[in-house]
């Protein structure tokens, strides 16, 4: 197994680690209510995505994703 012949300086270590820094998230404003949201995701305030309501006609938030699936399956039957 290879062993380094000489020690790397603190500058070389810092240059190597400089690429792995944390960057800020890109945020956009919701077209419907103007709240800041992540791109390509529904708005957590008004439950719309690209102007279309995702949660259905009700303004209440569904508790879980399975609750939404159950509601959709019950309306189809």
CA-atom Rg of the chain in angstroms: 24
**Positions in the chain short of pLDDT 70:** 56-77
Which residues, other chains included, contact 30 with Cβ-Cβ below 8 Å and sequence gap of 6+? 36, 37, 43, 45, 46, 48
Q: What is the pLDDT of residues 13-29, one digit of tens each?
A: 999 999 888 888 899 99
Q: Is residue 73 part of a domain?
A: yes
**How many domains would you assign to the chain?**
1
Q: Which domain holds residue 51?
A: 42-77
Examine residue 17 and state whether it is found in any structural domain, yes or no.
Answer: no
The answer to whether the pTM exceeds 0.85 is no
One DSSP character per residue, the chain reads ----SSPPPHHHHHHHHGGG---PPP-EE-TTT--EE-TTS--TTT-EETTEESS-S--SPPSSHHHHHHHHHHHH-
| Residue 25 in domain | no
State residue 36's pLDDT score. Answer: 94
In a domain? residue 66? yes
What per-residue confidence (pLDDT) applies to 40? 92
């Amino acid at each position: 197994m290879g062993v380094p012949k000489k020690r790397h300086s603190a500058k070389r270590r810092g240059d190597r680690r400089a690429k792995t820094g944390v960057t800020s998230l890109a945020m956009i404003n919701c077209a419907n209510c103007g709240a800041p949201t992540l791109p390509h995701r529904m708005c957590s305030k008004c439950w719309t995505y690209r102007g279309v309501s995702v949660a259905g006609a009700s303004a209440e938030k569904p508790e879980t994703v399975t609750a939404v699936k159950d509601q959709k399956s019950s309306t189809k039957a």
